[in-house]
Amino acid sequence: MTFRASVLTLYPQMFPGHLGESLAGRAMERGDWTLEAIQIRDFARDRHRSVDDTPAGGGAGMVLRPDVLADAIDHASPPDDARPRLLMSPRGAALTQDRVRELAAGPGVVLVCGRFEGVDQRVIEARGLEEVSVGDYVLSGGEPAALTLLDAVVRLLPGVMGNEASGNLESFESGLLEHPHYTRPQVWEERAIPDVLTSGNHAKIEAWRRAESEKLTKERRPDLMPAKKKPPQG
């Protein structure tokens, strides 16, 4: 099944961007996924092709008009479209590997990239847009966020990763951050690869990696540590 991504943007030339290269690019050439970038401005109604207007209630910046954006969405994603419609937005729920996995298991995504101050609230409600954030910082537009989301999703599509196994043991997939990696040379700038990794003892190697993962997660992201079972009361 082909995963279909439609992106609504004022800057379609930003796509496929880096997704035309490497793993994602080859997957696209094979037809594992498709990407269409739709110019929101093509749905403007006036001769100036305007897509934005001043914020109701006053204030700085401009807001994307609901009528123009809704026409673009309806063109890309008719009412019977099974694909989720996501709005890239710093107010959204933070994107997680769990959500990425869910999206990769589905038929595709419709991504709306905001610009300026954002989009009119009514189109978010009327078209059921799910707001998604890529982190607690503000970008100038949704395009890099859309590229980031698609990058994370496409690498999970069946057959995209050369080495399927490496998709499963990484940061977040196990709920923990990943252990450190090493490769040759054996000694570099007087630093040796930890002995256990060259021991050939696979059980020991697994135990070492697991312990390193837990140590790193505790130090850097204690919020990711699996909840400890409470000791029995009384």
Region of 108-116, 159-167, 183-191, 209-217 interacting with ligand SAH (CB under 6 A): 108-116
b/e map 167-188, b = 16+ CB within 10 Å: eeeebeeeebbbbeeeeeeeee
Using CB under 6 A, which of 138, 165, 187, 203 touches ligand SAH? 138
Smallest CA-to-CA distance from 5 within 163, 159, 172, 148 is with: 148
Using CB under 6 A, which of 32, 67, 71, 117 touches ligand SAH? 117
**Would you count residue 83 as binding ligand SAH (CB under 6 A)?**
no
CB-facing half-sphere around the CA of 30: CA atoms within 13 A: 17
Footprint (CB under 6 A) of ligand SAH, residues 41-80: none
Using CB under 6 A, which of 14, 62, 70, 139 touches ligand SAH? 139
Tokens of 212: 């390193």
- The single-letter DSSP state of residue 149 is H
**Would you count residue 89 as binding ligand SAH (CB under 6 A)?**
yes
CA 216 to CA 211: how far, in whole Å? 9
**Would you count residue 114 as binding ligand SAH (CB under 6 A)?**
yes
Least Å distance between CB 149 and ligand SAH?
9
**Would you count residue 5 as binding ligand SAH (CB under 6 A)?**
no
Smallest CA-to-CA distance from 106 within 59, 154, 148, 139 is with: 154
**Would you count residue 128 as binding ligand SAH (CB under 6 A)?**
no
Contact footprint for ligand SAH (CB under 6 A): 88-91, 113-115, 117-118, 133-135, 137-139, 141-142, 145
